[in-house]
Amino acid sequence: MQSEKIGPLGPVTAGMEDYLATIYALLAEGELVISARLAEHLGVGPSSVAGMSKRLVDAGYAQFNERREILLTESGRSIAENAVRRHRLAERILTDLLGFDWVEAHTEAHSL
């Protein structure tokens, strides 16, 4: 069972956070976020992206523009930034305090 947090517009699952954080990272890199690119980065199928994209849009965390690119709303961006911040903090704790190498820390931080 996925743990849920309550975002400003309703429950946010770990899966939703993963999608929002990935969209955030792609946008930060200047990439156009389309469903196919998102599926590739997350290692999931197009139907999974379509379903989750609909959930994110319905919850008010994402939107599509006229070219079917996926964009974050202000609420979606806030959730993504918090998820990325927690992930980076966990990585630093694992590397700096517990002596993990970066690859191990990244993998472990994602599971935390």
* % of the chain surpassing 70 pLDDT: 87
Rounded Cα distance, 112 and 36, in Å: 27
pLDDT at 103: 74
Q: Is the four-CA dihedral 91, 95, 101, 104 of positive or negative sign? A: negative
pLDDT at 101: 78
In tens, the pLDDT along 31-84 reads 999 999 999 999 999 999 999 999 999 999 999 999 999 999 999 999 999 988
* Maximum CA extent, the chain: 47
* Model confidence, pTM: 0.80
pLDDT band at 1 (very low <50, low <70, confident <90, very high): very low
Asked whether 80 and 70 are in contact (CB, 8 A), the reply is: no
* % of the chain surpassing 90 pLDDT: 61
pLDDT at 12: 87
Rounded Cα distance, 20 and 78, in Å: 9
Q: Which residue has the higher pLDDT, 56 or 106?
A: 56
